[in-house]
Structure 1
Amino acid sequence: MDVLEQSYAYRARAALDMLMNEGATPPTERKAAAFTTIARRLLSAGRNDVGIAALKAHEPSELVQKAVAQVLDADELWSGPLAQQLAAAYIASVAEQSIFDQLKVYARVLPPRMRQVMIATAAVGNVVSEGAPKPVRDLTLNLGDVDFLKAVGIVVMSKELASATGGEGAALFEQELQKATVRALNRSVLTAFIDSGTSVIAAGTDPLASLRAGLQAAGPSEGFVVAMSAGDAAWLATSEANRGGMGVRGGEFVRGVHIVVMDDHTGMTIIPASRVGIYDGGLSVRSTDQADVDMRDTPESPGAKTSLWQTNSAAIIVERQWQLVSGGAEAVTVEG
């Protein structure tokens, strides 16, 4: 076997190994990994057009290749059907930590790309002809008149770190991407539910008593999403009442009650999820290495404008578009 034949054999073996490894991974996980690959390449390139060109030229993943094949920029990329599937798979991979995505388990979720929405329901039990159902409208709206909200997160890394090879660099990026995707959305969704009309009740003797009181005050629902501090979540996770297997960072406490941890949250906020109507506009990412970013050492400390270009850094911006499109779900706050 000459050198050329050996080269062909090595390439064939590498392609076969890749296919075998992909076949052992569930499809949703492969799609979520493809989304992360695109995001990391955009970050390391520092510019959307450069990152997309690099993905087209060098990325071996067939999912990534198909997603970027016909696009020119990041905005066009995330409007494509395959890229939207990759983004949806990534959202599913971090959904356990997302208030919005746990609401979607029980809420009325409107289909995308729809303008006119009307829902009316009725039920009747009668044996006479006059006992016909009389539907009552409980959701009527024109999505063309709805102002959609945006939750935006950002990850800034030095280009050396963003381009680092090996498992450690990839794992670090995945951790930061997850934080950027979830934290801004959790805060904005919680803000949308909490207003001057929110019911506030006193805390119980322990986190379980507080949770029970909040669920009782929230009224009937097919399921509840509860935001709480890490300390309360750890207490509940280690209690005998934890029948759903939630961990110290949240999860299903019992069937129909999902806990989401927010480190800066005080008390508990209980949302009766099945009384909510929501719209999910999807997830997109884009990168830059030319902007000035307001950097700070802690959330409370004063910020300082920092040039990404001068510090040889790049940023990736994670954007989620969403809206609550129907009410009827009053959140309950349990005092901390």
Structure 2
Amino acid sequence: MQNEYAGTVLALVRALVVASKSGETLLEVADRLPMPASAARILRSAVGAGSISDPAWAGQLADLAAASSIFMQQLGGRSAFAALLDLGVITKAPLRSRVGAISEGAIGAVNAEGKARPVSRMSLNGDALLPQRADAIVVLSREVIENSSAASQAFVSRQLRRAVAKALDVGFFDTLLTSATPSFSSTGDHPTDLKILLDAVNTGEGRLAWIAATDVGNSICLLMDGRGDASPEGLSEFVGLTLAISPGLPAGMLVLIDGDQVVADIQSLGIDVARHAALEMNDAPVGDAGTPTATALTSLWQTNAVAIRLSSLFGAATGTADALAIMTDITWGSLASG
């Protein structure tokens, strides 16, 4: 199935760009352009009752749901959230469902005949895993999108995956890292810092993983202390636990999570394109809808560019207060073991 849906998302993006330029309907584009059969079926299904730009509606399309799943798997280690979910470190639960965590487990016992059987108390807490929307916007030249060469398609596909990965991580951490999350400032000594995080999260019953900001990941891979084969990008291992690097975390931050106490899911993508918008080409835009701020805008039409928006539905929640902890202001250097 992976081969069947591998290029579906990219084909849909290209078809939407061509349709916006030529004025053709998506059905006409699907009949004219060479594309995977799954992409053609999706374009023919996108009738007036809905739009593939809406991930909630698009999720009802079986082909787009399958293509979205394959696309998320292709993110690799770019998204710490998606990677840990795919590995099974983070517990997967369906969106819109009620989730709970066992705060006191049941007691098992072997009893002789006629003896009283112990009964333990089990309490559940949690709430609905509500869907949220993460939007990734990529601006590319129209020529590179419409180009059907393998090099062009590989370039566009890579840019789309990078944007979606960061949007998912930012949304994931914004959801989980709240004022109630246990937070510690770095002592400057990495063994002491690691011990603080482990004491805060490790119960001996869960599945732990580190998530590091990119600068912290750089420091960890240079520690040279034999605690693991750490890499400054993607997924690796540190202190015998999975280590994921994420650009969605602020600099100087390291997170330790207990995946058994974090439930999440990522569902269907929504795809939309624009050719006549004016955008602020800035990673940190100024102002917002409530406080308009004068800023330079770039016209997509004048620059012959196309904006692509990929929207994904995701949800994340923690079951207990000790599901994760964060360490901030980390400035570890290249240290040798003593």
Q: TM-score, normalised by structure 1?
A: 0.75
Matched, 1:86 2:71: no
State the partner residue of 2:255: 269
State the partner residue of 1:63: 38
State the partner residue of 1:42: 16
2:76 & 2:119 partners in 1: Cα distance?
A: 38
Q: Which amino acid is 2:81 matched to?
A: F
- Taking a change above 3 Å as real, the CA distance of residues 260 and 45 of structure 1, as seen in their structure-2 partners, is farther
Q: CA contact under 8 A between 2:126 and 2:319: conserved in structure 1?
A: no
Q: CA contact under 8 A between 2:93 and 2:263: conserved in structure 1?
A: yes
Report which of the two has the higher share of helix: 1
**Percent of pairs with identical residues:** 15
1:49 & 1:260 partners in 2: Cα distance?
A: 43
Aligned equivalent of 1:287, options 273, 287, 290? 273
Q: CA contact under 8 A between 1:106 and 1:222: conserved in structure 2?
A: no
1:62 & 1:300 partners in 2: Cα distance?
A: 39
Q: 1:286 is paired with a residue of what secondary structure?
A: strand
Matched, 1:222 2:211: no
2:258 & 2:24 partners in 1: Cα distance?
A: 43
- Taking a change above 3 Å as real, the CA distance of residues 123 and 86 of structure 1, as seen in their structure-2 partners, is farther
Matched, 1:233 2:217: yes
Structure 1, unaligned runs of 5 or more: 1-26
State the partner residue of 1:136: 122
User: Superposition RMSD on alpha carbons, in Å?
Assistant: 3.4
Residue deviations 1:123-169, cap 9 Å, x none? 4214156426556242554x4xx653211110112222322342332
State the partner residue of 1:308: 300
2:176 & 2:154 partners in 1: Cα distance?
A: 33
Q: TM-score, normalised by structure 2?
A: 0.74
Deviates more, 1:280-289 or 1:150-159: 280-289
- Taking a change above 3 Å as real, the CA distance of residues 117 and 68 of structure 1, as seen in their structure-2 partners, is same
If asked which structure has higher relative contact order (CA below 8 Å, sep 6+), I would say 2
Residue deviations 1:248-271, cap 9 Å, x none? 313121454232232752231222
Q: 2:217 is paired with a residue of what secondary structure?
A: helix
1:231 & 1:209 partners in 2: Cα distance?
A: 19
Residue deviations 1:274-317, cap 9 Å, x none? 21122433322222223332333x53677433343344322111
Superposed displacement of residue 115, structure 1: 4.5
Aligned equivalent of 1:259, options 234, 239, 244? 244
State the partner residue of 1:22: none
Q: 2:77 is paired with a residue of what secondary structure?
A: helix
State the partner residue of 1:149: 132
Q: 1:106 is paired with a residue of what secondary structure?
A: coil
